A and B are shown apart, each in its own frame.
Chain A
Amino acid sequence: MTPARPRRIRVNGDTRPQLPRHARLRFDGTRQAWVLLVPERVLAPDDIAVDILKLCDGARRVDDIVDTLAAKYAAPRATIDADVVALLQDLADKGFVVAARDTAE
């Protein structure tokens, strides 16, 4: 009866991350800041985190996201890769990032 839900996902280059229903990224006009709304909390992502989260659309792979950001910031790919994976893994452990499934949903 317990629905199968991907738990403890391991973020790697092929993961296609997306935000679940209960994690909503939006720009708050009143505070002029991006916020990530999750149950019982409001998170304040920094500029880089916002850039990463905006690319988590369930279609792009982590490798694609890293490529995009490495170009944008003109930074070494390995550095960006480490930052992106660390951020997404942390949020995934908290349940605020999930992996899109292979089949269409």
Chain B
Amino acid sequence: MSPSPTDAPPALADPTDGVAVLEPRAGTAAYGIPLAVLAELTHRCPLQCPYCSNPLELERAGAELTTAEWQRVMSELAELGVLQLHLSGGEPTARRDLVELVRHANRVGLYTNLITSAVLLDRNALAALADAGLCHIQISFQGSVPDAADRVAGLNGAHAKKIAAARLARDLDLPLTVNAVIHRQNIDQLPDIIDMAVDLDADRLEVANVQYYGWALKNRAALMPTPAQVETAVAIVEAARERLAGTLVIDHVIPDYYAVRPKKCMGGWGRQFFNISPSGKILPCHAAETITGLHFDSVRGNRSIAWIWQHSEALNRFRGTDWMPEPCQSCAYREIDYGGCRCQAFALTGDAANTDPACTLSPLHERLFATAEHEATEGTADFVYRNFSGGTAAGGGRRR
């Protein structure tokens, strides 16, 4: 998912349209009032996607925050000035108290977005969520070809259930985003995926190329598309945007290994967004625990969330630009992309403060590009599936 929150105060509206996207003002403080929070309600999930964004070490059900704890957290978030709450996981609908949590979030004024695989949702469950005030639902798809999609999800029948749930959601007038996670083994389905989103009456389609952390990094050789595939996909999305203007909004996230500039990860570390893990740890993003040596505060401690947001050692570690070594420190883009992604820098260079190798200014960029290109053409099609025992290898059919 790609929340795009920013810190306050609101930027001046664009005089041509009167409604500007809230963006942080350049050169202001290193962080502001967080606009959005990703609540990972649980790491339990009936799917086993090999690119799961959860950490390799999943948190067990017994460690999860209780209903009352999440409700207290939501009230604190609203008081702090958070406006949007993304309910995610794992699979958030695996929480039996989800309706109660949505109702509470709505009551305290948070805009709720459910990020779900939808395989556990039937009409009653969806109707209850809609009644509780759910504002928007985002359903992930593994492709448009049922068998191939089910193989990626590691669950037979998953695709058909998603299609059914998406139609039910629209029947209930819930606005729908189709989130299509894209990689080498399904990128050629993109035209069909776009048609599927239109057929499902989705408002938005996210064409989200896999980002390579945790499970996805483990499966990178099976997932990385070729540069030619990525180029074709860009052209397909551009044509579809034009054709479907006013019907379907398409957001496209390309794999950053092939980018020139790194992504402005999370809008900047600890700048406008944070993540809460199932057990209550406050993280700058869902992958931050992959960086060793950082201490993350928990909502279960005796500090308020507002205190943690201001004083957390982990959040302050990479805020602003003072921490940057060269080539970032003197770079003209340092406040544009904040040096890219800290988790990727750590995973690929061993030092989270290094320039993200996705950036062409990183000494490692060329090697990274070559590795990606090599894996895209020579890599296996076999996946290591995500689960609580650290991953299960399973045959995945032909090499391609």
**Residues of A that sit less than 8 Å from B by CB:** 1-3, 5, 7-8, 20-22, 24, 26, 28, 30-33, 35-37, 39-46, 48-49, 52, 83, 86-87, 90-91, 93-95
Contacts and interface: CB of A to CB of B under 8 A. Distances in A.
B6 interface: yes
Given A24-B135, A30-B33, 12 more contacts: A3-B170, A7-B246, A21-B174, A26-B109, A32-B9, A39-B113, A39-B136, A40-B3, A40-B204, A42-B36, A43-B19, A94-B249
Given A2-B199, A90-B17, A40 B113 contact: yes
B246 A39 contact: no
Given A39-B136, A44-B22, A91-B19, A20 B175 contact: yes
Contacts of A40: 1-4, 113, 177, 204, 251
Contacts of B35: 42
A22 B216 CA distance: 32
Interface of B: 1-6, 8-13, 15, 17-22, 33, 35-36, 80-81, 83-84, 109, 111, 113, 135-136, 138, 167, 170-171, 173-175, 177, 199-201, 203-204, 245-247, 249, 251
A49 to B, nearest CB: 4
Contacts of A30: 8, 33, 80-81
Contacts of A32: 9
A89 to B, nearest CB: 10
B10 A44 contact: yes
Nearest 3 pairs between A and B by C-beta?
A30-B81, A44-B10, A46-B13
Contact of B201 (A5, A24, A35, A83): A5
Nearest to B133: A21
A29 B9 CA distance: 12
A23 to B, nearest CB: 9
B23 to A, nearest CB: 8
Contacts of B12: 46
Residue among B9, B22, B80, B245 having the largest count of chain A Cβ atoms under 10 Å: B22
Contacts of B36: 42
Contacts of A28: 81, 83
A43 B20 contact: yes
A44 B11 contact: yes
A93 B171 CA distance: 21
Residue among B6, B9, B84, B249 having the largest count of chain A Cβ atoms under 10 Å: B84
Nearest to A45: B19
A77 B252 CA distance: 41
A8 B247 contact: yes
Contact of A33 (B3, B8, B21, B249): B8
